[in-house]
Structure 1
Amino acid sequence: MTGYNLEGKRVYVAGHKGMVGSGIIRRLQSEGCEILISDRSVDLREQAQVREWYKDNSPDAVFVAAAKVGGILANDTYPADFLYDNLMIEANLIGGARAQGVEKLMFLGSSCIYPKMASQPIGEDALLTGPLEPTNEWYAIAKIAGIKLCEAFRKQYGSDFISGMPTNLYGPGDNFDLKSSHVLPALMRKAHEAKERGEPHITIWGTGTPCREFLHVDDCADACVFLMKNYSAAQHVNIGSGVDIPIRELAELVCDVVGFEGGIECDTDKPDGTPRKLMDSAKLQELGWSPEITLEAGVRSTYEWFLKNSL
């Protein structure tokens, strides 16, 4: 384990307006570094624009948190966008960092990189051992390419590029649009609107039996900074809570926090997605990091944020 000191460094957070990127920026404010961002005028899908930004700003370290993201519906509806946009974004940012001589880079992927039927909990070695979940394979393939690109630059050039694979994240800055959001914020919005309208129940996709793991974005950001400072190796590192919960129980927790007292119905005509997706985060814990925010506390603080910012 090698140390990398962020103090006094110029640190670029790509994707600073997203949930993860904004979380990393909050976390970096106590590191004594200069935080760099690129505004919307820089299209990260365009190589020339990214290279010009790197040349003009000369970052020492880079967090690649920029991505086109969405839930099952969005992935299934826009497969070309999810594959092409994410390939371009990561290739430009990672390749541009190498060309600019960036000291260290961290690429952020997703737990969907793992096979649909991977044994549980999913260790880092499960990558590329089986078929992906069809509903989000486009996004997954792009993220796998990002991991391999970091490995390739490390192998060929000795670049200190690492990858972290967060589990399902939630928290301030999440997307609460029912057409493109992930399960937890979607449930939160459904429950809130049902309470406001006095509806008798909310409907969830599938059977409610699939299990999912969740991590608060501030815990994820803390883990990312920890890895940037303390980890240097080719293999990606899982970033998770180590605990999962059935979707039905998650819906009950969200309804309790929101104060919705109606019922929960399952639309079994809709897909469940992967039956279970719990990551093995033992590697990260052995390095010396573990999460601090419980799911209930995180859901409560996220609902408070939602009430102030998303209505």
Structure 2
Amino acid sequence: MKNFTYIRATSVKDAVQRATTDQNAMLIAGGTNLVDRLKVFLDEPSQLIDISRLEMKRIERTNEGGLSIGALVSNTTVADHEDVRRDYPILSRAILAGASQQIRNMATVGGNLLQRTRCPYYYDTAFPCNKRQPGSGCPAATGINRMHAILGASDQCVAVQPSDMCVPLAALDAVVVVEGTKGKRQIPFTDFHRLPENTPQRDTNLEPGELITSVIVPPVPFAKSGVYLKLRDRTSYAFALVSVAAAVDLASEQIQNVRLAMGGVAHKPWRSKEAEEFLIGKSANTTTFQQAAEIALQEAKPLTHNSFKVDLAKRAIRRALTVSAKGGGVV
């Protein structure tokens, strides 16, 4: 490990200024993903800027009736928060499915959004990787790719975004609030993460030096019936093969509104607005939900070892929509 300096930021402005001045610096809060990467030399920062003591640890009601969640709120605090459990159980369940208690206690909301792929080729520096070194190649595209993307991939990268929490945030139309040298701005959650295209080294649309300060979850009354379904190789804390966040709003068995997003299938949380648009006005039944699943996966391009994900995702969508339409709860 290369030597680096450590500095504790005194304010958001201070952290932004330091990160902007030194492009090789990295921000650290809980460190549950960054420390892993440091250990295997994926990241070699010139300095670590500790932001863990900044004032971004509150969950507050917005004027519109939603929630503003500070970037330094721990995953445990979000999952256990009374308002989250009551109004956005889909978010609480996703976090609880994502990691052990010890990791949730350390991991932060902002860090969860910024965690990098767990693609084994990315972590093993013996292999080339376009995400580590653009232009070097993507061995996963022709290698062991069972866990990799079936949607939105490119010739440059077929890795998937690993977060559970990000899937319901995409479904709920959350907004990421960031601050940089040019001031504050808001990024719609579905625009925050990037598809690989020709720049797989970039995971998000953050500008250099920008810092996540909070995530705003708008009021979604029917989110109380939301369902998070995670399918994985083992029940313990494993990354998703496929996950689905779904919420259905019914009136007289007719769908008035719906939200649908998937994890484990793309380089970013995959919101299927085409399937949502199809469902509006339809009857809530197995046939309708199966048709929506077909629409959601119509652009899937499976790799050598992960074609099973296509059918798995369709079944998961159908199940999640069915359970949500019946009032939600644990799948």
> Which protein, 1 or 2, shows the higher relative CO under an 8 Å CA cutoff with sep ≥ 6?
1
TM-score, reference length from structure 2: 0.28
